[in-house]
Structure 1
Amino acid sequence: MTKTKSYSLAIVLVTSLFFFWGFIHNLDPILIKHLKSAFSLTHFQASMVDSAVFAAYFLLAIPAGLIMKKYGYKAGILVGLSLFALGCFLFIPAANTISYPFFLAALFVLSCGLTILETAANPYITILGDPNKAEQRLNFAQSFNGLAASIAPIVGGVFILAEEPKSADEIAALGESAREAYIQAETSLVKGPYFVLGLLILIVAALFFFTKLPDIKDEEEGESSRGFLGAFAHKNVRWGVVAQFFYVGVQVYVFSFLLVFASDVTGITGQEGKYYLGVAGFLFMVGRFIGTFFMKYMSANRLLIIYSIASCILCLVVVFGTGIVTLYALVAITFFMSIMFPTIFALGIKGVGADTKSASSLIIMSIVGGAVVPPLASQITDMTDNMQTSYLIALLCFVIVLLFAWNNRSKVNKNNL
């Protein structure tokens, strides 16, 4: 009885983390649109926001795993929350100095915190309960990430995209002092939302600090971890790293550049586009809850195959379609992306025993795909002057996720067939 209560409280607290990092990640599309306009950036330069965010996952994932190995999940969560809050507060000097590199540095620090949080929270939620329901439990927790995805664009749109920004030509036509004043006013809009978020994260950190959490051991009796390289001995870990790299890359590109796509391809303004972004976040959330429900009746692996195929078909519509239907297809993709991250993660660490923390670090490390795929796709847009063509990269990413699901058929949970 006590154990069940402890697990319940731990699950509630850890699940709250999924909401917060989902919220901050889904402010990025608003931030990209805003900074692209304020600093008159190219598509490639604007994609550096994603690179700053997801480079942290590559650099910090293994140190995060080492922290957990030595000090446990709770210590990892507290360190992650501290860096998360610090990164939010750094947005204030970044705005005051009108420096795009400073914004990127603040995002990097913030994302170092997110890296440690995700490295800790994702495996922790899978082992807090019945192992046969690990995928279900992780998808449920990640559903609150989806809830944040539906709320963040609206909040960001109200407080950051308060009015339609000037075009690059309009900014260039301003005098030097007027241009500097305009950029200062635009960058200052981000200070309030990130400051408030930083304060909230500190409150959450205090709750974790004063709450006793169960110290779950993932080492099986008579077994010890083989280290980070040893975790690659597991086929599902190897495939999980590759699949997560390409999945996160495509998720980041789809969400981060949805507003830019709406503007460039369909001529929709940022003020109108934020509602499409909100719908995308809502579909992402609904997809997670529906996916969690379906996993009661079919394997997570089989559902991942179905969702991957649907995403590939919709990508073809985005690339070869015309008009508003391309935006509808792009928004619809978010529904089918919904279960991919948690399902890839859960299948990737499934059955690895003492190597769970190492495998978790490696799969979180592969989130660096979010720093690689968007700049690559953006470069194609700048070279071809056709944003739709860049979604051939997205199609390739979904094909790789499909291959991961197909190659992990042996990991299907027999109870869910």
Structure 2
Amino acid sequence: MTKNVSALILVLVIFFAISFITNILGPLFPSLVNDFDLSLAVAGFLPFSFFAAYGVMSIPSGMLVDKYGEKPVMLSAFIMSAFGSFLFALTPSFFMAMASLFFIGTGMAMLQVAINPLLRVAGGKEHFAFYSVMAQLLFGGAAALSPMVYSVVVQGMASEDVSGIFAFFQANVPAKMTWLSMYWIFAIISLMMLVFIYLIKLPKVTLQADEQVGAWQIYQGLFKNKTLILFFIGIAAYVGTEQGVANVISLFLSQYHGLDPVTVGANTVSNFWLMLTLGCFLGLALVKILDSRLVLKLFSMGAMLALTAALFGTSDVAVLAFPLVGFFLSVMWSVIFSLALNSVRVHHGSFAGILCTGIVGGGLASPLIGFIADLSGDLRIGMIVVYLTLGYIFSIGFWAKPLIANKTLPIFNRKENC
């Protein structure tokens, strides 16, 4: 039986809110490029600003949680998110966008660190795996919903009979920047979450020894660990792949196939996140019958094939193939993370904190893609960055040597117990 229903609901709602806010950049990318007259390389620094915050704040956030507890950190996180959202909504410019995204990213990084231990305690340790899957499903559902809300809001503001929330947006958003209304929505969500968190009493979280963040001296030792460095790059490669594809979809469909980024583009990005979520179910089944390293190799190859079809196929093929890339990416985060943690004997909490800073890879891919695309004049050539990151992920299936392999069903276990 669930130990603390209100706290559990809060954590699940936070997972939803994080994803809703985080994954909107892809659909907005064409509008940001056009309205601020940006090159693709410069535009790539927008997601970099957001994900750089993860690199800066993941480890310090763990230390803040240790010192002050989950609730103050979560409240601070949504204050940062609200401030960043209002900042951009009220003073839209490229540099303000970068500052805004850094503040929002900082808030999201703080939340990611605070809510995972809380989920384990609120739902009960014995149910942690179940609620973790539920949280990931909500995360994916919000990522799919966010582009759909964007499409509805922009089209609603363009209609002749505007009322209600659309009238508010029309009065407070520049006529040629209707997409900016999403940042008003983010600000409202952040304020609502502040009230929600303030009113709920949270259970005390007691971390086990190997879950604790650890002192700075522990990190210094871990930074010398070759295995950690390799898996850190793996996490960066995965997030770079995920964001590199998601941020390009709408822009690519607009540039190469003339498809409307507000409708077809946003819908395709939504389907990308939906398929990434649904793919988790197949992934859960496969890791019960196959070695997770083999699953990683198979899905990496599938992602490369789907990406190739998306980039070089017809418009109809591209609209179907981009979400298929998301499907093949679905298992990568969990497999890479579990292989990493199962490759060390101690300091799993600190190890996980360093791995999470690898999320900064989500920001590095986009400027690289944009720089190569600007240099070559072809966005397809810029996407070679994603092939390289997928290639690295594929290689993990060969060199990973976990101390504990994933347990498969007995009928599929080999005699040598690999």
TM-score in terms of structure 2 length = 0.82
Letter in 1 for 2:73: G
Classify 1:367/1:253 alpha carbon distance in 2 versus 1 (closer, same or farther; 3 Å): same
The residue that corresponds to 2:195 in the other structure is 206
What do residues 249-285 of structure 1 show as CA deviations (whole Å, max 9, x unaligned)? 1111111111001012222122322222222222122
Give the secondary structure class of the aligned counterpart of 2:383.
Answer: helix
What do residues 20-46 of structure 1 show as CA deviations (whole Å, max 9, x unaligned)? 121112211222222222222222222
Answer yes or no: is 1:190 the counterpart of 2:183.
Answer: no
The residue that corresponds to 1:104 in the other structure is 98
The residue that corresponds to 2:84 in the other structure is 87
- Cα pair 2:210 2:349 within 8 Å, conserved: no
Classify 1:19/1:346 alpha carbon distance in 2 versus 1 (closer, same or farther; 3 Å): farther
Give the secondary structure class of the aligned counterpart of 2:38.
Answer: coil
Letter in 1 for 2:297: I
Give the secondary structure class of the aligned counterpart of 2:209.
Answer: coil
Residue among 231, 240, 245 paired with 2:236: 245
Letter in 2 for 1:373: A
- d(CA) in 2 for partners of 1:204 and 1:91? 19
What do residues 101-141 of structure 1 show as CA deviations (whole Å, max 9, x unaligned)? 11221111111101111233346546877989877754442
Q: Map of 1:297-336 to 2, 5 A cutoff?
A: 297-298=289-290, 300-321=292-313, 323-336=315-328
Residue among 383, 407, 412 paired with 2:405: 412
Classify 1:299/1:13 alpha carbon distance in 2 versus 1 (closer, same or farther; 3 Å): farther
Answer yes or no: is 1:33 the counterpart of 2:30.
Answer: yes
Residue among 29, 51, 61 paired with 2:58: 61
Deviating more after overlay: 244-253 vs 294-303: 294-303
Letter in 2 for 1:22: S
- Cα pair 2:241 2:365 within 8 Å, conserved: yes
Deviating more after overlay: 372-381 vs 354-363: 354-363
Classify 1:356/1:70 alpha carbon distance in 2 versus 1 (closer, same or farther; 3 Å): farther
- d(CA) in 1 for partners of 2:120 and 2:334? 10
The residue that corresponds to 2:18 in the other structure is 21
Letter in 2 for 1:398: L
- d(CA) in 2 for partners of 1:338 and 1:404? 16
- Cα pair 2:214 2:350 within 8 Å, conserved: no
Unaligned 5+ runs, structure 2: 159-172, 414-418
1:50 deviation in Å?
0.8
- Cα pair 1:81 1:202 within 8 Å, conserved: yes
Answer yes or no: is 1:266 the counterpart of 2:257.
Answer: yes
TM-score in terms of structure 1 length = 0.82
- d(CA) in 2 for partners of 1:321 and 1:10? 47
- Cα pair 1:139 1:292 within 8 Å, conserved: no
Classify 1:276/1:28 alpha carbon distance in 2 versus 1 (closer, same or farther; 3 Å): same
Classify 1:297/1:307 alpha carbon distance in 2 versus 1 (closer, same or farther; 3 Å): same
What do residues 213-268 of structure 1 show as CA deviations (whole Å, max 9, x unaligned)? 24131315999765222334666543331111111111111111110010122221
Give the secondary structure class of the aligned counterpart of 1:5.
Answer: coil
- d(CA) in 2 for partners of 1:380 and 1:254? 15
Give the secondary structure class of the aligned counterpart of 1:41.
Answer: coil
The residue that corresponds to 2:386 in the other structure is 394
The residue that corresponds to 1:144 in the other structure is 138
Letter in 2 for 1:348: A
Classify 1:221/1:402 alpha carbon distance in 2 versus 1 (closer, same or farther; 3 Å): closer
CA RMSD of aligned residues (A): 3.3
Answer yes or no: is 1:219 the counterpart of 2:231.
Answer: no
- d(CA) in 2 for partners of 1:222 and 1:93? 40
Give the secondary structure class of the aligned counterpart of 1:413.
Answer: coil
- Cα pair 1:64 1:115 within 8 Å, conserved: yes
- d(CA) in 2 for partners of 1:287 and 1:407? 25
Classify 1:102/1:305 alpha carbon distance in 2 versus 1 (closer, same or farther; 3 Å): same
The residue that corresponds to 1:176 in the other structure is none
Unaligned 5+ runs, structure 1: 165-182
Q: Map of 1:41-52 to 2, 5 A cutoff?
A: 41-52=38-49
Classify 1:356/1:216 alpha carbon distance in 2 versus 1 (closer, same or farther; 3 Å): farther
- Cα pair 1:86 1:109 within 8 Å, conserved: yes
Deviating more after overlay: 134-143 vs 218-227: 218-227
- d(CA) in 1 for partners of 2:407 and 2:242? 29
- Cα pair 2:53 2:102 within 8 Å, conserved: yes
Identity %: 25
Letter in 1 for 2:405: V
Give the secondary structure class of the aligned counterpart of 2:360.
Answer: helix
What do residues 308-344 of structure 1 show as CA deviations (whole Å, max 9, x unaligned)? 2211222333455455424432221011112323443
- d(CA) in 2 for partners of 1:234 and 1:125? 29
- d(CA) in 1 for partners of 2:328 and 2:299? 5
